[in-house]
Amino acid sequence: MSEPKNQHIIPRCYLKQFVDPHTPAGHEPYVWIFEKEHKRGKKKAPKNILAETDFYTLKLKNGDKDYSIEKTLSQIEGEYTSIFEKKIKAKLPLDDYEHIMVCVFVAAMFQRTLAQRENIEGMLDQIIEMTEAMEQANGLPTKKSLEMKREKENAPKINLVQIIPRITEILIQMNLAFLCSNKKGAFITSDTPCFLFNPDLQWQRFYGPGLGQKHVEVRMPLSPEISIDFSWVNNLRGYLNIDTDLVHELNRMVFGYSHQYFIANSAKVKRGWFRRFPLDPVFIFRILNKKIRFKLMRLYYRYKYYV
């Protein structure tokens, strides 16, 4: 039996939900994948996108390869696919086991991205650079920095395994809602489909959202018709119908959090997805208010201390 060397960063079972419903008869079903920077779309089969050789494979010291992470993720994907097809698609309530497995799947999707790997590798590069500087400054052998370089390749994969149970535990405690679009709007997804959103922090740039924050939400589109939402808000539960404007607002966020690509079930795009800020008068007022107050504060301190 051949080992799973070609590994999907975003799983096929997830991507296939976004295939174009108008795929011609006799053609392999495809999604529309767009470059984030240029917003150019191409028709691609889910099996041909967002995959990389040995993305989750552990490299052992003796030169062998360990595929256990990829196989574990495949088992999670299989469980989720069954739950999605039997329950979520039909808008039926989940039992306790199904709820847990959906949380596990979302936790994995939150971590198994190219952007997450690059973040971890970037942090490790900084630590290795500081270690090399310390070794050089103190005349020490380069043993530690070389060891860290060897471990760098496996570090993001090991982190994935370690962090999924922790995120799952938090998601289980949060309220679970499925946001359902109408026939006039469809959700899009991306190469970073799961993201955190805190409406209280969106008009500032100093603090990022975190799972422990009171108003934070964990969002991820599951299909063009359904998007999942975890939150600490008590009344946000079950299957909820939302209007077209909110669908496009969620798509704006999906595009904003995407790393290199976003994906849709149609070649059509909306200009509103590409706006940095929502066209919300209250939000715009808050942005302007914060900027004006910040500039007035700078002028005040400049006048007080330098004039």
d(CA 283, CA 290): 11
End-to-end CA distance of the chain: 77
The owner of tokens 């009171």 is 214
Indicate the DSSP class of residue 60.
P
Torsion angles phi and psi, residue 194, rounded to 5 = -105, 130
State the angle between helix axes of 68-83 and 96-111 in degrees (0 to 180), rounded to the nearest 10: 130
Helices 143-152 and 114-137: angle between axes, nearest 10 degrees: 170
Q: Check residue 251 and give its pLDDT.
A: 95
Cα distance between residue 41 and residue 243, in whole Å: 26
Q: Which of 55, 46, 42 is nearest to 13 (CA)?
A: 46
d(CA 162, CA 166): 8
Rounded distance between C-alpha atoms, residue 207 and residue 212, angstroms = 13
Query: What average pLDDT score do residues 278-307 get?
Result: 60
10-46 pLDDT per residue, tens: 999 999 999 999 999 999 999 999 999 988 899 999 9
For residue 68, the model assigns a pLDDT of 94
Q: Would the pLDDT of 4 be above 90?
A: no
Looking at per-residue pLDDT, the higher value among 302 and 100 belongs to 100
Q: How many CA atoms lie within 13 A of 16 on its CB side?
A: 11
Encoded tokens for 68: 């256990």
Q: Which residue has the higher pLDDT, 3 or 189?
A: 189
* Residue 202, pLDDT above cutoff 90: no
pLDDT at 211: 86
Which pLDDT score, from 0 to 100, does residue 89 have? Answer: 96
| Local confidence band at 214 (pLDDT 50, 70, 90 cut-offs) | confident
Over residues 95-112, the mean pLDDT reads: 97
The structure's pTM equals: 0.86
Q: Report the 10 Å Cβ neighbour count for 201.
A: 17
* Amino acid (1-letter code) at residue 286: R
